[in-house]
Homo-oligomer: A and B are copies of this chain.
């Protein structure tokens, strides 16, 4: 459903947001090690997120990554859009094209009506869920980032 890149990015952001406020930058090696992700691959992903002004990155000694935006203002949708794009939310479930609810000039497919309902719920979830929410959840329960 989501690409590896996207899932890694989401986890890295949750990880960064869950660190104590006092902590400044965190190096890519540290992040990759704690989340058990391939270091150079994760670096590429964080670079994309930095370009989108979601993360802050600084080079040089003591450099690393930190959140640029307030975790209350980062939604799952923001991250997915940055990394995978929004095709998963706009494409038809059985055709290689835009769903008729996005492009009104298109005919619907036979699964459209039922699927749109589920997809709407999915979009709501991604749009409304902030990183802040997720960190709070993770801290309140026995949760695995």
Contact = CB atoms under 8 A, between A and B. Distances in A.
A2 B111 CA distance: 13
Instruction: Report the copy number of this chain in the oligomer.
Output: 2
B2 A93 contact: yes
Given A118-B121, A144-B106, A4 B96 contact: yes
B7 A143 contact: no
A129 interface: yes
Interface string A8-39: 00110010000000000000000000000000
Interface of A: 1-2, 4, 7, 10-11, 14, 76, 88, 91, 93-96, 106-111, 113-115, 117-118, 121-122, 125, 129, 134-135, 137-138, 141-145
